[in-house]
Structure 1
Amino acid sequence: MQRRRTLLSALVLFAAACLVACGGEHDDAAPATATAAPDATPTASPEVAQATAAEERATPTRTPRPTPTPRPAFEVPSGVDSGPISDSEAANLLNAFIHSPVDGPAQDALWRIAAAGDQRFVAVLIDMLFARLTRLISVGPDRFEYGYALDYLTGETIGYDYFSWLRWYGATDLVPPPGYLSWKGRLLANIDERFQDFLDDQHPSAIRVEEIVWGGVRPDGIPPLDLPRAIAPAEADWLGSHEAVFGIFINGEARAYPLRIMDWHEMTNDVVGGVPFSLAYCTLCGAGIAYDGRAPNGEMYTFGTSGFLYRSNKLMYDRLTATLWNQFTGRPVLGELVGTTDTEGNPLQLSLLPVVLTTWGDWLAQHPETDVIDINTGYYRPYEPGAAYGEYFAESSTMFPVWIESNELGLKNFVYGLRIGGDRKAYRLTAIAKERVVNDAVGDQPVVLVAARGEVQTEGRNERIGPVVYDSGGEVRAFERDRFFAPGDDPDALLDAEGGEWRVTEEALIGPGGERLERINGHLAYWFGWYAFFPDTAVYGAN
């Protein structure tokens, strides 16, 4: 709860700063003491299954509701019309909340909605609660009145706890009034006008748009790295052998992306081995995912950070169409590309490329020819381990609420996720690292996972809390399997039942006679992030 109060205080300060920069109004009352900056984040191969709309809109077991507490009654004055609200009147009520120069119209709109008992406006009132808490709106009903009006409208007793309302709403089947998305875009345009372009009712959507929340930054407030300069290992004297890196190997070319840099940028658009790709890193859900940047029409996708979150996962946008994409599933979710198909007629989805999280020392030993992106990125950041998110990484709690949860694993336990056909399976990292080699199957596909180098732990320093120690993931690769494997004499060797040695490479397992078992692309993630989008997943290592 303390982290949520701190986060909301940070959002208050940043929203107020945006309003000042834009000449907007804000309350004179002093905000909470937490600080936030615009550049800080509070964002058709067999192994890449075509995620369905059902996965995006999945509604498994509902999360517990907050414990009720006594609240003062919300009262609707006598004489307020309690009849049904037409769609045309709904449009006028929406406008009253954000276009009123005085308090009266917004207050009247709130009473009208409450008198009618129109629950279509629950999402609207939650957004207005947020707007008052963050001072995007400085007139009309205050946060207490919006909270108590929500209690009145829903029969709940949550009050003005914004995060609890987000969790509660996610578990309902309520729908907003017509025009809601464009209205929300106009509301958030008080922070940045570009938000209005993303959130528009004319855009087709594959997700529940009410669950889109502001993550605390403007579009590209977390700046992507585009074609970052790469240097030889000898030049990277600032990078310790124990430090965590993402490793990319494509067509014989290797490159490392240190997490001390990626924590601050969360996205790089690069080319390795002649293949354009985006390394999309959601720090909040612990998932670094490499996507092929080649579009079906022959163009190339590059991505930026929208500033929005969906179920605590960053929504990225492509620079060709400004469509919002789910970073976790690789699917377009709001905008022009929703509902489009690839060249084979399948729903459009980015293809996974191989990525591994390991230490710089281990990556360099495996790929002495590798290069590494330069710490001189052109941006001024304290590029030290733990500086960006050390506090969050070291905690067991999430920063933003996620209503779809499972207690089968800890929220931020790392899992290695595989998607094959219509099947999903999450492998608990601590379990597979202990076993080193796991013979298993995902659906009908036999697989072998190799995690012989164990987990990666980071020691760093965070300006707010000082020294931090946290898990960053671990080196895992998955391959097709046609026999049983056991660990070999070194981390890059497997033994089959006849004692034959198979070598682990970035592209395949190579047998003693030159046999190949191809790699299956997957990625690490926090358990809560994986489960939020794949609630029907199987789990390995839960016990």
Structure 2
Amino acid sequence: MPLTRRGFTGMLVATAVTPAPLRAQDDPVLAAIRSPLYGTSSEFAKGMVFLRERGNPDVVPALLTSMRFSRGRQGRIAEVMDELAGQKFGTDWFEWMLWQERNPQIVPHPSLIPFKREVLLGIDENFDVFLKPEHLAREQMKIRFEEIAWGGVRKDGIPSLDNPDLLPAAKADYLKDDDLVFGISINGDTRAYPLRIMGWHEMFNEVIGGVPVALAYCTLCGSGILFETKVTGRRKPLVFGSSGFLYRSNKLMFDRETHSLWNQYTGNPVVGPLVDSGIELKQRPVVITSWGAWKASHPKTRVLSLNTGHRRDYGSGVVYQDYFSSAELMFPALVDQSRHRQKDYVFAIRQFGAARAWPLDAFEEKSIINDAIANTPLVLIGNPSKRTVRAYERGAHQFEQRGETLLDETGQTWTVTETALERVDGKTLPRVAGHISYWFAWDNYLGDAATVYGG
């Protein structure tokens, strides 16, 4: 049965929350918003009357947290939220989260910070490393605290793979030729990371071809992005994990040195000590393709072993099967679906001071697209059946494909490699980093700041 957003939300509403100590005697608003989770029936009733008479929607974000995790009190909480916000969403947590995203002018009451900390630390006390009060002030964050959502797992509940075991291609008999892999080649070091394994881990930290990198795979937004982790001014490469938190249906990863939270989609720190560091992780090229195609073009590749140190069902099509087969999102995010459906795939590039996306279905009519981003001419080579796109700078050339051969406007042949297009006379055109993504993530995070290929 396909996974629906309502079904998943309902499961989370029933999740147990253990109270953490907190003093609310001096703040009647804090006492009122705590009452649905931690108060007696009398305290809860008085709290809801107080908030309704107070009449300010600044408590709706906190009540939204209460409604998500309370048992048996959601209806009464929703009545108060409906009245304060002038909406009629009832107990629909998903719609309330979208309303919250649409209304950034509503600044939450200051009690949201201690209350939401209390709730989240009741789920996992290890969340404290991400939620230090000194980093949660509105002006110190790059995202809105009220929109950070618990993703259903604890810190490192989705464990990263750090320098995992690899196999030569000939020994990877567990893989089927049509299994999709992330293919990476850096300085001649060529590796494959099957999506059927990475879906359970969503992150690896590796050194490939002498370059420290991390693959940040957000299954919810369909994007696997390869980042360099050696950052100018820092002594050691950053090492990343999955925090257990989401922002607009995108994972918030964290670095293990400072425990700052990072936007997986942009490679920027958004909460914590590194917020004002100016760091933006550099992307490296990565491609999704079938194991059969990758192995044929890279016979000396190495590939992830099943011996990851974790017990998971790494079978084909197992991880997130319901989500990947559904048109629905599991967590809320606003998206413009006038041009594309929210889970249509696009190929995304953010380079050269610009951002542009190419719908994957644009490659169904032709496998070669000559285009540009900003003032940089590009050629993109795609195969939607394998979810494969590679992009290269093309200079003044125009390319076409005849059979399996890539030709320029003069009829000269070029060879496609993981680092560049190569001509027989030694001329090369460099590869440009990009990644596959669901449309909703691209539209939600970049929106009007980006352009989209229209054919």
Length-normalised TM-score, structure 2: 0.92
Alignment partner of 1:389 is 2:320: yes
CA contact (8 A) 2:33 2:66 kept: no
Residue 391 of structure 1, CA deviation: 1.6
Map 1:120-159; keep pairs closer than 5 Å. 120-132=58-70, 135=71, 142-159=73-90
Alignment partner of 1:312 is 2:313: no
Residue 98 of structure 1, CA deviation: 5.4
1:213 corresponding residue in structure 2: 149
CA contact (8 A) 1:406 1:531 kept: no
Give 3-state SS (helix, strand or coil) of 1:525's partner: strand
Alignment partner of 1:535 is 2:450: no
1:507 corresponding residue in structure 2: 419
Per-residue deviation, residues 306-364 of structure 1 (Å, max 9, x unmatched): 11111111111110111110111111111111011xxxxxx211110110000111111
The amino acid across from 1:293 in the alignment is T
1:193 corresponding residue in structure 2: 125
Please point out which of 496, 521, 526 is paired with 2:438. 526
Per-residue deviation, residues 510-530 of structure 1 (Å, max 9, x unmatched): 223212211110100010111
CA contact (8 A) 1:355 1:523 kept: yes
Change in 2 beyond 3 A, CA 1:255/1:186: same
Counterpart CA distance in 2 for 1:404 and 1:322 is: 30
Alignment partner of 1:224 is 2:224: no
Residue 184 of structure 1, CA deviation: 0.7
Residue 106 of structure 1, CA deviation: 3.7
CA contact (8 A) 1:181 1:199 kept: no
Aligned length: 442
Change in 2 beyond 3 A, CA 1:148/1:206: same
Per-residue deviation, residues 433-467 of structure 1 (Å, max 9, x unmatched): 4311111111111111111x4422xxxxxxxxxxx
Counterpart CA distance in 1 for 2:427 and 2:46 is: 74
1:329 corresponding residue in structure 2: 266
Please point out which of 222, 225, 238 is paired with 1:301. 238
Counterpart CA distance in 1 for 2:417 and 2:125 is: 47
Map 1:46-445; keep pairs closer than 5 Å. 89-94=28-33, 100=39, 102-132=40-70, 135=71, 142-172=73-103, 173-203=105-135, 204-296=140-232, 297-340=234-277, 347-445=278-376
Counterpart CA distance in 2 for 1:95 and 1:4 is: 26
Residue 23 of structure 1, CA deviation: 9.6
1:75 corresponding residue in structure 2: none
Give 3-state SS (helix, strand or coil) of 1:391's partner: helix
CA contact (8 A) 1:185 1:197 kept: no
Change in 2 beyond 3 A, CA 1:282/1:394: same
2:23 corresponding residue in structure 1: none
Where do 5+ consecutive residues of structure 1 fail to align?
25-86, 341-346, 457-473
Per-residue deviation, residues 346-390 of structure 1 (Å, max 9, x unmatched): x21111011000011111122111100101212111111221111
Residue 179 of structure 1, CA deviation: 4.1
Counterpart CA distance in 2 for 1:248 and 1:274 is: 13
Percent identity over paired residues: 40
Counterpart CA distance in 2 for 1:483 and 1:398 is: 41
Alignment partner of 1:482 is 2:392: no
Give 3-state SS (helix, strand or coil) of 2:292's partner: helix
Give 3-state SS (helix, strand or coil) of 1:231's partner: strand
Residue 99 of structure 1, CA deviation: 5.2
Give 3-state SS (helix, strand or coil) of 2:116's partner: helix
Counterpart CA distance in 2 for 1:197 and 1:92 is: 25
Per-residue deviation, residues 381-432 of structure 1 (Å, max 9, x unmatched): 1111221111211121211121243321111111001112332111011112
Residue 107 of structure 1, CA deviation: 3.1
Change in 2 beyond 3 A, CA 1:12/1:92: closer
Change in 2 beyond 3 A, CA 1:150/1:436: same
Give 3-state SS (helix, strand or coil) of 1:485's partner: coil
Residue 199 of structure 1, CA deviation: 2.6
Counterpart CA distance in 2 for 1:259 and 1:2 is: 20
Residue 494 of structure 1, CA deviation: 2.1
Counterpart CA distance in 2 for 1:490 and 1:233 is: 27
Give the aligned CA root-mean-square deviation in angstroms.
2.1
Please point out which of 440, 452, 455 is paired with 2:385. 455
CA contact (8 A) 2:167 2:304 kept: yes
Counterpart CA distance in 2 for 1:291 and 1:359 is: 22
Per-residue deviation, residues 227-281 of structure 1 (Å, max 9, x unmatched): 1100111111111112100001111100000111111111111111111111111
CA contact (8 A) 1:316 1:325 kept: yes
The amino acid across from 1:379 in the alignment is H
Counterpart CA distance in 2 for 1:150 and 1:363 is: 53
Length-normalised TM-score, structure 1: 0.77
